[in-house]
Amino acid sequence: MAIITVQNLKKHFNLEAGFFARFGRFVYAVNDVSFTIGKNETYGLVGESGCGKTTTARLLVRMYEADEGKIFFKDGTDVRSLQRNDLRHYRQKVKYVFQDPARSLNPRMSVAEVLLSGYRASGAWPRGGEKRAREEAAAILEEVGLVPADLEKRPAEFSGGQRQRISIARGLLMKPDLLICDEVVSALDVSIQGQILNLLQDIRSRRDLSFLFIAHNLKVACYFCDRIGVMYKGKIMEEDDAAHLYRTALHPYTKLLFSTVSAEGGPQAGRTVAANNLEADDAGAEAGCAFAARCPLADGRCFAEDPPLQEAAPNMDGEKDGGERPHLVRCFKV
């Protein structure tokens, strides 16, 4: 069963800001993105900073409103049409964990207040009131590796990894179906990254939970995810099962990301492979493959035509069996 289905999602922003900015020059942060996340599945969106990963995630919870496309939740609920109470209920079932817990956790609140403030405003507040809610919060803290006594502390008293555990606990409190993890380990030491990833794996197993996992490090995503979509300039350039992608990557951009991680290593590898090439383009001026200007294989057709995202030829992906989803790639050279 699909927890969330995204179809042809688009979002553009004005290229210039301010009162005197010219209107009509746009950049597509998300440009015709489609994917599905099943029950108890982890789908990864991977790419350089500025490729549209976070914008896509924020469209799912309607922090931004999409310009085009559809988002369906579970039984076919049209997310873009939800209003007020229905939207609030949806956001209880799709929770967002931000990259920087130091900024997403109010330093003036205790951990108990951080966890319970949103819970209190929701329609899921328990019948037992404050006492029952604190018991649930204490149980959630234990689930993420902290102790009930931490409810009385403030976020500044914790390390970066512990703060991220608090952020995860806040997301879990209302028993969501989908947890969006936006670069949740990118700011942590490598050893702490492993602890958080293992914690999320355990939570997924215990709660039968689905994840949208956003990362710039392709190797981290391959370790944690079931399926990965590689994004560049608002488009998914390649999508495949994580267990195969590191061996069967076909798109030149995916290969570039893997080679960069191997060469540089460390938690920041892959974040800015070539940041100078990520400038926005006029939407009306875009033609051809988004990656053509950086691709060593590009020819005239690549600059003139936009390749579709389509299934790779079977003989190029011989490791798959009939039960797995197809390997998709957006490239004329494959």
Residue 156 lies in a domain: no
Q: Tell me how many degrees the CA angle 55-45-307 measures, rounded to the nearest 5.
A: 90
Mean pLDDT check: name the lowest of 21-25, 52-56, 64-68, 248-252.
21-25
> Could you tell me how many helices (H) and strands (E) the chain has, helices first?
11, 12
Q: Cβ-count burial of 208 within 10 angstroms (0-12 exposed, 13-18 middle, 19+ buried)? A: exposed
Tell me, rounded to whole angstroms, the distance of Cα 150 from its chain centroid: 29
Residue 54 lies in a domain: yes
Residue 233 lies in a domain: yes
Residue 207 lies in a domain: yes
Contact 260, 273 (CB under 8 A): yes
**What is the sign of the dihedral through the CA atoms of 273, 277, 280 and 281?**
negative
Token reading at 93: 């079932």
- pLDDT score at 120: 83
CATH number for the domain that contains residue 297: 3.40.50.300
- pLDDT score at 122: 78
Q: pLDDT band for 188, please (50, 70, 90 cuts).
A: confident
- pLDDT score at 190: 86
Which of 210, 236, 211, 226 lies closest to 35, judged by CA?
236
- pLDDT score at 317: 59
Mean pLDDT: which of 3-17, 149-163, 249-263 is highest?
A: 149-163
Region 57-77: mean pLDDT is: 95
**Is the pLDDT score of 282 beyond 90?**
no
- Domain residues for the domain of 285 are 2-74+177-329
- pLDDT score at 166: 94
Which DSSP state fits 314?
A: G
Residue 147 lies in a domain: no
Residue 142 lies in a domain: no
- pLDDT score at 121: 78
Separation of alpha carbons 31 and 11, rounded Å: 7
Contact 334, 251 (CB under 8 A): yes
Residue 115 lies in a domain: no
- In degrees and rounded to multiples of 5, residue 215 shows phi and psi of -155, 160
Number of domains present in the structure of the chain: 1
Token reading at 313: 């030829």
Contact 209, 202 (CB under 8 A): no
Residue 322 lies in a domain: yes
pTM of the model: 0.88
Instruction: List helix spans (H) across the chain.
Output: 53-60, 84-93, 101-104, 111-121, 129-143, 160-172, 190-207, 218-224, 242-248, 252-264, 300-304
Region 202-221: mean pLDDT is: 93
- pLDDT score at 117: 87
